[in-house]
Amino acid sequence: MKAEEIKGKELGRIFDYFERVGVIAIKLNDNLKVGDTIKIIGGENQFTEIVNSMQIEGKNVEKAKKGDSVGIKVSQKCHKDNKVYKV
């Protein structure tokens, strides 16, 4: 799927994925809060996810701003450099 076909704003790319705990790490290009819906796209893999929990430096947060690096729990396997969109 091409980026221009995606409805929503690109939040950034995954810079780390912690498979054991199912958490992606991303530096945000836009604000994000718990309850927002994100779409993760990479290769053949794409899925949407509601942000149920988010952490900054190991502390739970309800919202994060552009420029923050956050950890987000996800339900499916991801890879570094997968794109993340806010939908």
Residues 58 and 77: their CA atoms lie apart, in Å, by 21
**Per-residue pLDDT tens over the stretch 16-48:** 999 999 999 999 999 999 999 999 998 888 999
Q: Taking the CA atoms of 27, 11, 2 and 20 in sequence, report the sign of the dihedral they define.
A: positive
- Tell me the domains of the chain and their CATH numbers: 3-86 (2.40.30.10)
Q: Taking the CA atoms of 38, 27, 55 and 81 in sequence, report the sign of the dihedral they define.
A: positive
**What's the pTM value of the predicted model, to 2 decimals?**
0.88
Quickly list DSSP for 11-67.
Answer: EEEEEEEETTTTEEEEE-SS-EETT-EEEEEETTEEEEEE---EEETTEE-SEE-TT
**Per-residue pLDDT tens over the stretch 45-73:** 899 999 999 999 999 999 999 999 999 99
